[in-house]
Amino acid sequence: MIEDRLSECTLLSTALRKNLKEPLEILWCRSYEEAFGPLFSKKWDLVLINAHLNGDEGLPTLKKVKNITEEKNTPTVMYYSEKSDSWILEKAIKAGASAVLTTQDIILPEGSGLLLSTMTEN
């Protein structure tokens, strides 16, 4: 998970573990630079990227991550927290996101199906 805020990472990690009911290894990275090594070192089931990483770095980070994860066929999911940020949807899909979800989609139990389907499509 590439997320610059610990509180958001904790919230999402807790919800994912609870809703997916599977043992998960979740690695928290605050930036692309921090995620670079782990992304190369192994195949991850999923990469979650905050659309507002450090202000507005979410889309450039997504593009860099896709360069690494594409050949490993790893789904990348961009998420945003405000409904008013729905403009990010089209831009993220064009940049290569496998899916774009709201934080609520990830936190709510019914949203876990969206993540699971994204993971199994790849």
Question: Structural domain boundaries of the chain?
Answer: 6-121
Exposure on the CB side of residue 112, measured as CA atoms within 13 A: 15
pLDDT in the model for residue 56: 67
Determine the Cα–Cα distance for residues 37 and 2; give it in Å rounded to an integer.
13
Would you state the structure tokens that stand for residue 93, as one six-digit string?
A: 């899909």
Q: Which amino acid is at 22?
A: E
Full pLDDT tens readout for the chain, 122 residues: 999 999 999 999 999 888 888 788 999 999 999 999 999 999 998 999 999 887 667 899 999 999 998 888 899 999 988 766 778 888 999 999 999 998 888 888 877 677 777 776 65
Confidence (pLDDT) at 122: 59
Report the SS3 class of residue 71: coil
Class level of CATH domain 6-121: alpha beta
